[in-house]
Structure 1
């Protein structure tokens, strides 16, 4: 038979209890807490009260064991009728006189404070709670439960919230890339007018005589937002134009390109970027319309087939002097042979990301004896070998002033030997993503110096992961007085002192030292102090730089990952 539930005099129901518990409850003594975790909260000074003191308790205290929520609501939260409240040790303490602790800020964890309820000193922990009725006073653990507070609840102190905000701001600041540059003053009136024109470009009937530079600026702005359409493109057409550059012609179709050729018959230089809608018939029309065209640069003419290229080359013939094309899968070996045969006066040739380009293409190119600038970048066919490149440079290298062989992954140190041997007039050299060794690059520049070759002006050795001391030392010795543009991006092992030696380059204006892991604030200070022409420095991945990196008026340092400005 299950034990019967006992009822108090007021009808409150209690759970089954032992005889001893019932006897003590009748005397007003609460049963001991058998929860092993709760017992830890009891302090040593909380000794059992004498029976005499227990019996002297008010009758209402004897009901505390079985009081329910309705009683609390009716009696004002369980406080005594005379305004007193039980203290942490069970003794009644008059309200308002329980503690004379003055309000104060919560101290650091481990320090001692006085309890705002009982006045005893206690060590501050991460769980220390604020007194609910006495702001800015704090409770010891035994005083929490009588006040209805869980002493081990997750802390929600203002101190924790205040700490979280700077931490979040600190993380956001760490992810922010700081661009150190001089803040410009008020914009020029011409710039303000250009911005207004670009904002309402669809409503402009004609640009008038605003000058070639400003017209180019307008074209850049509206191309950036891809608002260059067949209607707005007509603003840049005129019979008197000899040069035209359009930076994003994605929205121009075949008819718009035909209109271009009709309204600009005197063009000598044409540069179109993102011309994906150009078709074979477009070049056929231009072959008849643009009879003075000498310089053609196209980015992305995917749809133009071999027949269009061949007809255009035959029509232009000796007039064409510069041909640059990027991302055209239709150009094959036959197309290249026709180009070389029909356009022998080419001075500039750039072939980038051509799907079928391989070593066989170099054979006809070797017949272009007047070439001054050659770029063979990211070939899509079989990788070009060092031997094939040596034969090409032996045939045309004597007049080359610019050579760009980026992303030819199979070329190596032997190509450097060929360049030093066959290209005496070279001033611009780009060998990014080419497998070169530190010793070979060092020998290359020392060889140029020994032959009294002119110093290089533009040097791109990006992603030369193995390049370090020997390469940079020789480069500075041979081209330090002439170099204006230099990329050492990815030279992860180059010493900081060697980078600082670039301070001996008086004409250096652009420098990329991204991912040069040993660069420090002192390295950058040496460069700023020693390079008077420097205007742009790229430092992505140089994680030894701090927020105290030096600055100089007129020099933009891009890529500093810092916690604060």
Structure 2
């Protein structure tokens, strides 16, 4: 449907936007597709007939004259339709009442369409009436490079003006340049721009962008509020501590400081410290294939000969997608496998879990997460058929009773080395007693979220003198006391390399300097997150002059809410050179001076400093410069850390305000 712009030009085609090079070439050569069938036109309103003259003797009547006239041929056009000439004229309104058909295929005649769009206003209607009164019949001949317009009307004034314009157009050059000037596309249509807000690409400029490297975010020394220091401006300075003041604290009458000179605005450029640090790296071809297989896991019949690492990746993906069920678990069962980990067994029924021992009889290590549908019959089947099993991890086995555990422990006996059990309400003291008696060679014991755990359990665990890793997580409040934990550490601490007491909220400082300090001489990983009763003095006493222990590589002090700067100073002084993972989440009492001591950790790789309110750009800058191996920093809730904080390629800063976080890469 055609429409008009403010200049009154009619768009014959329906194409909006810039014209491509191919379209321009075809327009210059006059190449068009065959004309479609003309749309039916509305009948023209009847015109009043002039009065018939009275017949005069000797002259033929009107009927006789009409009979004598020849019938119109196919070359004369009595209807108006958009043709090749109409498209070539690109908006000119042409009409013709009578004309002879040209021998050239490119010569046609057009007539102005009376029907316009429904949304045309009254002004457009008046313009149409005026144009219809002054229409000039013309004929157009199309050549290879020029378009010649010839006036066929008898009106001398109109013909002379039209002919002069056509001759001037011929002298100006090829039709391409003339058509550029005559026709208007949507990029110059003011009405179209006003309605849609479209701006052509030619008007886009990088100069209109605000320079990213010119402005700077600062904090007010009085109210600690964030404010922006624009390029070329000088913020007010506090006379007391020579700190910067925000406009609210400075007031309208505050005089700018002469010490800070305005800096000229720099040219906008991309800087690494201003980019989002969550980098979505290009995946490898192997990862793409693994992702494709995981998405179509229902259609896979067998994996074939693939590595255990690739199979483990596929298992993680389909577990996250909740696609691991009784049917798909068969893909991971092979008689050659010795290690198997299933990360979501929620949809695997008991027969599917039993097939693990049937198809993988050589398993040595088995890890089942969210295995709430495993029962006693499956455990008894494992005890009978898994004759080489020495490591078992069960998370969420809510249906297994003590009888099944006891039968398993008696079957595995002395070859059992690792046992992990979490979220079970039926594992009792009786089953633990059989475990400690029948499996004396245990080196890794991990018990968490067990409702029946008490101090009596710790007395039995103290008999396992070969332990290297001990984890006791989230016991019931007031069921685990400080004295029993101290006795346990004194009994097995000499061989421990990993100790976790996460969530033991009732423990006091004596666990640190009476249990861990004198006994744990080989300790490398310490996790006391959530021990809310630990104080700064206790942590300071543990790490100061701890000569019996060389240093730690992993320390988790998260949610120990009473710790202050002195505790972190003691930690970094003792283990700063070897520390690789540090968690100080929720230590709100730490100040900027205390956080700056982390620059001693030159081998640090992972840091969780969430909800440490003193963390800012300066601390992050010094930490990035001091720890070249640092690749991930968690900063949730650190509102003083801005998007301008220093960083480097390959390092992820997770949780910073204003950043886009892609959870797939966390």
The answer, yes or no, to whether TM exceeds 0.5 is: yes
Name 2:637's counterpart in structure 1: 541
The gaps in structure 2 that reach 5 residues or longer are 1-193, 195-274, 662-666
Instruction: Specify whether residues 273 and 331 from structure 1 end up closer, same or farther in structure 2 by C-alpha distance, changes over 3 A only.
Output: same
Question: Does residue 1:440 correspond to 2:538, yes or no?
Answer: yes
Question: Does residue 1:403 correspond to 2:499, yes or no?
Answer: yes
- Whether the 8 Å contact between 2:577 and 2:601 is mirrored in structure 1 is yes
Name 2:452's counterpart in structure 1: 356
Instruction: Specify whether residues 337 and 232 from structure 1 end up closer, same or farther in structure 2 by C-alpha distance, changes over 3 A only.
Output: same
Moved more, 554-563 or 299-308: 554-563
Name 1:497's counterpart in structure 2: 593
| Matched ranges for 1:65-464 at <5 A | 180-185=277-282, 187-380=283-476, 382-417=478-513, 418-434=515-531, 435-448=533-546, 451-464=547-560
- Whether the 8 Å contact between 1:355 and 1:381 is mirrored in structure 2 is no
Secondary structure of 2:655's aligned partner: strand
User: How big is the shift at 1:181?
Assistant: 2.5
- Whether the 8 Å contact between 1:445 and 1:474 is mirrored in structure 2 is yes
- Whether the 8 Å contact between 2:477 and 2:505 is mirrored in structure 1 is no
User: How big is the shift at 1:563?
Assistant: 8.0
Secondary structure of 1:310's aligned partner: helix
User: How big is the shift at 1:564?
Assistant: 9.3
Instruction: Specify whether residues 381 and 512 from structure 1 end up closer, same or farther in structure 2 by C-alpha distance, changes over 3 A only.
Output: closer
- Whether the 8 Å contact between 2:276 and 2:659 is mirrored in structure 1 is no
Inter-partner Cα distance in structure 2 for 1:447 and 1:436: 19
Name 1:531's counterpart in structure 2: 627
Secondary structure of 1:491's aligned partner: coil
User: How big is the shift at 1:562?
Assistant: 2.8
Instruction: Give 4+ residue runs of structure 1 displaced > 4 Å after superposition.
Output: none
Name 1:515's counterpart in structure 2: 611
Inter-partner Cα distance in structure 1 for 2:433 and 2:660: 58
Name 1:20's counterpart in structure 2: none
Q: How many residue pairs align between the two structures?
A: 386
Secondary structure of 1:419's aligned partner: helix
- When the two chains are superposed, the root-mean-square deviation of aligned CA atoms in Å is 1.6
Inter-partner Cα distance in structure 1 for 2:280 and 2:355: 42
Instruction: Specify whether residues 563 and 277 from structure 1 end up closer, same or farther in structure 2 by C-alpha distance, changes over 3 A only.
Output: closer
User: How big is the shift at 1:202?
Assistant: 0.9
User: How big is the shift at 1:257?
Assistant: 1.0
1:347-391 CA distances to partner (integer Å, 9 max, x unpaired)? 000000011001110111111010110001111374311110111
User: How big is the shift at 1:193?
Assistant: 1.1
Secondary structure of 1:327's aligned partner: strand
1:255-275 CA distances to partner (integer Å, 9 max, x unpaired)? 111101100100111111100
User: How big is the shift at 1:548?
Assistant: 1.3
Secondary structure of 2:598's aligned partner: helix
Inter-partner Cα distance in structure 2 for 1:239 and 1:382: 47
The gaps in structure 1 that reach 5 residues or longer are 1-134, 136-177
Secondary structure of 1:180's aligned partner: coil
Inter-partner Cα distance in structure 2 for 1:531 and 1:181: 19
User: How big is the shift at 1:497?
Assistant: 2.4
Instruction: Specify whether residues 470 and 511 from structure 1 end up closer, same or farther in structure 2 by C-alpha distance, changes over 3 A only.
Output: same
Secondary structure of 2:479's aligned partner: coil
The two structures have a TM-score, normalised by structure 1, of 0.67
Inter-partner Cα distance in structure 1 for 2:647 and 2:530: 31
- Whether the 8 Å contact between 2:573 and 2:600 is mirrored in structure 1 is no
